[in-house]
Structure 1
Amino acid sequence: MIRAEAITLLRGGDVLFEDSDLQVFPGHRVGLVGRNGCGKSSLFAMLRGELSADSGNIHLPADWRIASVAQNTPALDKSAIDYVMDGDAEFRQLEAQLAKAEADNNGEAIAHCHDKLAAIGAYDIQPRTASLMAGLGFTQQQLQQPVKAFSGGWRMRLNLAQVLIARADLMLLDEPTNHLDVDAIFWLESWLKQYDGTLLLISHDRDFLDSVTTDIVHIEHKKLNSYRGNYSQFERQRAEHMAQQQSEYEKAQVMRQHLQAYVDRFRYKASKAKQAQSRLKAIEKLPNQAPLRAESGIDFHFLTPEKLPNPLLTLRDAKAGYGDTTILEKIKLNLVPGTRLGLLGRNGAGKSTLIKLLAGELKPMAGERLVNPGLSIGYFAQHQLETLDLAASALLHLQRIDKQASEQKLRDFLGNFGFSGDQATRSVEPMSGGEKARLALALIIYQRPNLLLLDEPTNHLDLGLRDALVAALQEYEGALIVVSHDRHLLRTTVDEFCLVADGKAETFDGDLEAYHDWLQQQAANDKRSEQPTTRQRDDRKQQKRKEAEARQKTKPLRQQIEKAEKSIHTLELKLADIHEQLSDSSLYEDANKAKLQKLLDQQAQAQKDLQQQESAWMIAEEELAELTEELQQTEDK
């Protein structure tokens, strides 16, 4: 179990946590949420042992293996699949020990290494790794490509894959969906729900949090506040708590005013002095609780476009690509005010290419791109954050757009995006990714576009900012085209979808759930397309015949193993249930001593039975390995 006791942490003069406690039970999947800069990543660093609390302590089991996503990926010649397999450090260590034992011709050490490798599932690590990487969007061809051949986003996927293969007891994931498409996010959700270790997850994707987490820890006002349930359940619980807290504060204020009025009236009258003093003491005992301070959210709105011509932009049989390479062809789109379109498609299918064509950054290779003279485009993409002038301030960026506007008008506008006071005049360079994204959005909104093109607009935005963006987009009057992996944003801001696939961009008749079904069908089609040749089929038939004979001879041992595995699984579930019951603090009260003892007895017996079943399983596995080796030697002769 992870236990933080009265921790205080200061970073750069700011207090992130103050006298705060936390408990995370084994096997729980915990979402860590809060505003950018509140200390989420610092808490991860403390768990990794990279930071120490200024006061208080963090305890976690000494034998736990901790895995977290590396932020940098060296430009290696090593193949992608080998790089991912490096994530299983124990496998690599045993592999090195085996190589040394073989070099020394040490038979006993070789056998020992093979036993250990078998115990950790090392003999199927390559297909497991390939399957995992396929889930994250890598093709079979990419598995053997060198790491240095991949772009930054794909290298982050490699780092994520390293963590997933690591067999960690504690997994720390910081924004794992930022570089994933919707199809990879669906896969990752499914994988994490089957993960039996402890997971701490930083994410601003509410759908992802809802699907994966069992608990939420919310960092607010320098405290770590725990909630049971997923993100939606946390929001409901927090709203109820805030309402109750505010009500208690208001009642205390009414009582304070009533008592203070009596004191003010009678404190200098000798006959009433004792009563006045008594009421002063009562005032001191009232909850001295400040009014509930909600996290200072950012509330902005899209300005009404000056013109809304119809149509805004039309594509007629357009072809898009780069150089001599065609990405999309026969594109037909007619964008009018009120169009609200989400682009769906697998990674690399051409969604960003289509956005660039609409924005005018790409010229059509064929066909027509017809633009209304009154068209005003607002284009947001991640690469545009790099075009911000690092030496200039938010205010100066806006002044360059509108030289006639007063400074106060521009300051008022920037204040809606969180750039108030000195924040409006400080340079862009030290800004976080979220702050740069806010500024880029502010610059777009100020220019009153009637066609808004958003390519992954929520990267770097926390949940509060994403909610503000959703609310603003719902009121936007122009045409909207969105590419995003944030399903909540898509579900709440667009009315229709366009599927970009197989070199085409066509209307998709369905919602995000239907798109998930389509992705699964595509994956099934991909597998069917990899059918073997006639010779391969003949060889496989011969191999299958030999395998069938071997299965018949090894059947009794395999049945023993299967029986032991089922017993082990049942006992592990039983132990998990007992552990869950033992985590209830009320169980340790005097009234529940009998129940506690009963659970402890059941736990001891289950652990004993589990040890016996694991021993039986290991013996059967060794016998099966020996028999399989004998059969293989017979076949080779």
Structure 2
Amino acid sequence: MIRAQSISLMRGGDVLFEDSDLQVFPGHKVGLVGRNGCGKSSLFSMLRGELHADTGDLHVPAEWRIASVAQDTPALEKSAIDYVMDGDTEFRALEEQLATAEASNNGEQIAHCHDKLAAIGAYDIQARTASLMAGLGFTQSQLQQPVKAFSGGWRMRLNLAQALIARADLMLLDEPTNHLDVDAIFWLEGWLKQYEGTLILISHDRDFLDSVTTDIVHIEHNKLNTYKGNYSQFERQRAEHLAQQQSEFEKAQVMRQHLQKYVDRFRYKASKAKQAQSRLKAIEKLPTQAPLRAESGVDFHFLEPEKLPNPLLTLRDAKAGYGDTTILEHIKLNLVPGTRLGLLGRNGAGKSTLIKLLAGELEPMAGERIANPGLRIGYFAQHQLETLDMSASALLHLQRMDSAASEQKLRDFLGGFGFSGDHATRPVEPMSGGEKARLALALIIYQRPNLLLLDEPTNHLDLGLRDALVAALQEYEGALIVVSHDRHLLRTTVDEFCLVADKKAETFDGDLDAYHAWLQERAASDKRSEQTAPSRQRDNRKEQKRKEAEMRQKTKPLRQTIEKAEKSIQILENELADLHDQLSDNSLYNDDRKADLQALLDKQTAAQKELSELEETWMEAEESLTELTEELQSEND
């Protein structure tokens, strides 16, 4: 097992761990949680042997094979499936040993290598790799594409697949769901539940932690604190502990009462729809989370929109896409104040395209996008973090938006997002991804939008800020459209779902569990199609061969005529060339050889006449063959 005794570690002048202990038993699945910067990634580096404790002892069994996700992916020509297979380092090492043995014709070593390859299941590794990559969203055609052809997010999926294919005793996963959509997350959950080794997982996805983990290690106050159970069970235990502290309990009570009112209000309004019932179950946990939010120090609210026109935005039979490529068509949406819609769909189906159409970043290719004059959109997407001024501070960003506001008012507002004191005046550039996301959200909220479009808003946000965002969205009075792989966020903030699939965006009558079932059925259908495809291909090839044979039979006379003419033309051209050589003899033009000259000229004339007739025959046959071939092809089509 993994054992840490009295370990201490300092990084950059900050104490991360101090006189801290830890035990992780074989086969346990541990969620590692804590605020950003508390030392989670440093602990991973220690487990990999890249960092060493300043004091104390960290023991990881020497024989354990450790797998983790690479953070960089070079632009390789190597195919995606070969790159993923590189994750099984023992298989690659045996491959090299076998190649060396074969090169030296060492029969004994060749047999030994084959035995070891069979023992590790090497002969089905390609099939296992393809199956694993399919679970992470890769299509069959992508498996042979070079690594350099994939975007950054898809390369991170390749790195994740490379870690999963390794037969590791200890797997270290740092935010594995960040670049996955909901269907890939469902698949990864199932895979990790079946994983027999020891897992330590850093994640800010509470549903993922709840589904996968058996223990939680919480880093707080430079200590590693272990809790038995999943994340929700950890929250309850920790909330009870905090509630025992009177000062924190008083603050938590105010927050708990507020959240309980929300739960009660929703309970009495809940319809019989599946997603409404699912949401009710999720928000009933919120009062338990109140002490944790109070303790986190991050708490913000959406400012009330200045106007709530009705409708806010309408799409009428709209079509969206890029260039000549249509992604979605026949889109019909009517957004009114209070709309709370979650977009579901497989990767690449068009969820982000729909968000961009709603935001006005894409013009409809057809149909109408009708925006109310009073519409004010707040649009959050990851690419917008790049639009922040890297040299400006959080405070300066707000001052540029509202120069009339007092500095204290703006500082008070930013404090709710964790930008207090000197932190409010530091430049953006050295900020973490989570801090930049917080600032982008703050800038959106300050503008009082009445339509909020959120495309993966929780990427880079820690659990404390995700909870604060959930609470703020529950109070928000405008319309809300969300694309997210965070199922807790979806369950607790939206009332209905829209399924984006097959170039359509239509109401989905079900909750996330029903969507999971839909994904499984769709995957099964795709698999059946793949299995029947070879049979269809064989039938198609058989029919094609029959048509080709029929065409050959019908065109045979013309092809024979052409072939015969071509042979005769070749003979005559050779004969004419020979006659030309004979006629080049100067002695042939003497008076005593007139008869010979005349005979050669007569042969040349006859050959030229015959050649001309053959060329005409060949040309007519070629034209007839072309016409007949086109006619037969048209009949076959």
CA distance in 2, matches of 1:64, 1:132: 23
Could you list the per-position Cα deviations for residues 491-541 of structure 1 after superposition, in whole angstroms to 9, with x for gaps in the alignment?
A: 0000000000000101101100000011011111111222122674899xx
CA distance in structure 1 between the partners assigned to 2:479 and 2:243 by the alignment? 38
After superposition, where does 1:316-327 map in structure 2 within 5 Å?
A: 316-327=316-327
Specify the alignment match of 1:449 in structure 2.
449
Q: Structure 2 matches for 1:36-115, cutoff 5 A?
A: 36-115=36-115
Partner of 1:533: 535
Match of residue 144 from structure 1: 144
CA distance in 2, matches of 1:249, 1:151: 47
Distance 2:293 2:191 in 1: 38
SS in 2 for 1:460: coil
Q: Residues 238 and 362 (structure 1 numbering): CA distance in 2 closer, same or farther, change over 3 Å? A: same
Alignment of structure 1 residues 64-463 onto 2, 5 Å: 64-244=64-244, 295-463=295-463
The answer for unaligned runs of 5 or more in structure 2 is: 251-291, 542-637
Distance apart, 1:247 and its partner CA: 11
CA contact (8 A) 1:181 1:347 kept: yes
Distance 1:247 1:62 in 2: 46
The answer (yes or no) to whether the contact 2:6–2:18 under 8 Å persists in 1 is: yes
Query: Are residues 410 and 538 of structure 1, via their aligned partners in 2, closer, same or farther at CA, if it must alter by over 3 Å?
Result: closer
CA-to-aligned-CA distance 1:171-220 (integer Å, 9 cap, x gap)? 00000000001000000000000000000000010100000001000011
Residues 29, 214 of structure 1: 8 Å contact kept: yes
Q: What letter is aligned with 2:116?
A: K
Q: What SS is found at the alignment partner of 2:110?
A: helix
| TM-score, normalisation: structure 2 | 0.77
Q: C-alpha separation between the residues in 1 aligned to 2:445 and 2:334?
A: 23
How far residue 248 of structure 1 moved from its aligned partner, in angstroms, is 14
Query: Contact (CA 8 Å) 1:428, 1:436: kept in 2 or not?
Result: yes
Query: 2:70 matched to 1:32?
Result: no
TM-aligned CA deviation for residue 38 of structure 1: 0.6
Q: Which amino acid aligns with 1:39?
A: G
Alpha-carbon distance between aligned partners in 1 of 2:332 and 2:536, rounded to the nearest angstrom: 42
Give the Å deviation of 1:111. 0.2
State the one-letter code of the partner of 1:328.
L
Residue 81 of structure 2 aligns to which amino acid in structure 1?
I
Whether contact under 8 Å (1:394, 1:427) holds in the other structure is yes
Q: What is the CA–CA distance in structure 2 between the aligned matches of 1:190 and 1:4, rounded to whole Å?
A: 30
Tell me the residue number matched to 1:3.
3
CA offset digits 1:594-629 (Å, max 9, x no partner) = xxxxxxxxxxxxxxxxxxxxxxxxxxxxxxxxxxxx
Residue type of the partner of 2:535?
T
Q: Can you list the C-alpha shifts for 1:394-436, whole angstroms capped at 9, x where unaligned?
A: 0111111111111111111111111111111110000000000
Whole-angstrom distance in 1 between the partners of 2:243 and 2:166: 43
User: Which residue of 2 is the match for residue 497 of structure 1?
Assistant: 497
Say which is worse superposed, 372-381 or 233-242, in terms of deviation.
233-242
In the alignment, the residues of structure 2 paired with residue 238 and residue 306 of structure 1 have an alpha-carbon distance, to the nearest angstrom, of: 39
| Secondary structure at 2:296 match in 1 | coil
Mean Cα deviation higher: 527-536 or 47-56: 527-536
1:236 Cα deviation (Å)?
1.4
Change (3 A) 1:56 1:474: same
CA distance in structure 1 between the partners assigned to 2:423 and 2:368 by the alignment: 44
CA distance in 2, matches of 1:129, 1:293: 42
Partner amino acid for 1:533? S
Structure 1 residue matching 2:303: 3-state secondary structure: coil
Report Cα offsets for 1:46-82 as digits up to 9, x if no partner. Answer: 1011111111110010011001000010000000000
Instruction: Assess if the C-alpha contact under 8 Å between 2:434 and 2:461 holds in 1.
Output: yes
Q: 1:287 aligns to what? A: none
Is the Cα–Cα contact under 8 Å of residues 85 and 165 in structure 1 kept in the other structure? yes
Sort the Cα spacing of 1:535 and 1:420 in 2 relative to 1 into closer, same or farther, 3 A. Answer: closer
Letter in 1 for 2:46: M
Gaps of 5+ in 1: 251-291, 540-637
Secondary structure of the residue aligned to 1:471 is: helix
* CA 323–398 in structure 1, closer or farther in 2 if over 3 Å, else same: same
Following superposition, the deviation at residue 239 of structure 1 comes to: 2.1
* RMSD between aligned residues: 1.9
1:224 maps to amino acid: L
Give the alignment of 1:593-632 within 5 angstroms: none
Can you list the C-alpha shifts for 1:142-170, whole angstroms capped at 9, x where unaligned? 00000000000000000000000000000
The one-letter code of the counterpart of 2:62 is A
Distance 1:236 1:248, change over 3 A: closer
Are the equivalent residues in 2 in contact too, given 1:27–1:198 (CA < 8 A)?
yes
Distance 1:469 1:94, change over 3 A: same
- Indicate conservation of the 8 Å contact 1:297/1:465, yes or no: no
Give TM-score, length-normalised by structure 1.
0.77
**Counterparts in 2 of 1:52 and 1:294: CA distance versus 1, 3 Å:** farther
Distance 2:248 2:45 in 1: 37
Q: Distance in 2 between matches of 1:248 and 1:512?
A: 35
TM superposition shift of 1:240 = 2.6
Aligned AA (2:474)? Q
Q: Contact between 1:87 and 1:162, CA under 8 Å: does it hold in 2? A: yes
Q: What is the DSSP-based 3-state SS (H/G/I as helix, E as strand, rest coil) of the residue aligned with 1:35?
A: coil
- Hey, what does 1:626 align to over in structure 2? none
Matched with 2:553 is: none
| Conserved? CA contact 1:318–1:331, under 8 Å | yes
**How far apart in 2 are the matches of 1:244 and 1:340?**
36
Any residues of structure 2 matched to 1:10-21 within 5 Å, and which? 10-21=10-21
Alpha carbons of 1:238 and 1:534: their partners in 2 closer, same or farther (altered >3 Å)? closer
- Native 8 Å contact 1:306 1:448 kept in 2: yes
Q: Secondary structure at the match of 2:227?
A: strand
Distance 2:23 2:133 in 1: 33
Aligned pair in 2 of structure 1 residues 340, 6: CA closer, same or farther (>3 Å)?
A: same
Amino acid at match of 2:170: L
Could you tell me whether the CA contact under 8 Å between 1:34 and 1:220 is conserved in 2?
yes
Partner in structure 2 of residue 598 of structure 1: none
User: How far has the Cα of 1:126 moved from its partner?
Assistant: 0.2
Aligned to 2:598: none
Number of aligned residue pairs: give it: 498
| Deviation (angstroms), 1:293 | 12
| Separation in 1, partners of 2:431, 2:56 | 31
Distance 1:402 1:47, change over 3 A: same
Identical-residue share of aligned pairs (%): 88
Larger Rg: 2
Secondary structure in structure 2 of the residue aligned to 1:317: strand
Distance 1:243 1:421, change over 3 A: closer
Q: C-alpha distance in 1, partners of 2:191/2:226?
A: 24
Do residues 479 (structure 1) and 479 (structure 2) align?
Answer: yes
Decide whether the 8 Å contact of 2:318 with 2:329 is kept in 1.
yes
Shift in Å, 1:366: 0.6
Alpha carbons 1:209, 1:231 under 8 Å: kept: yes
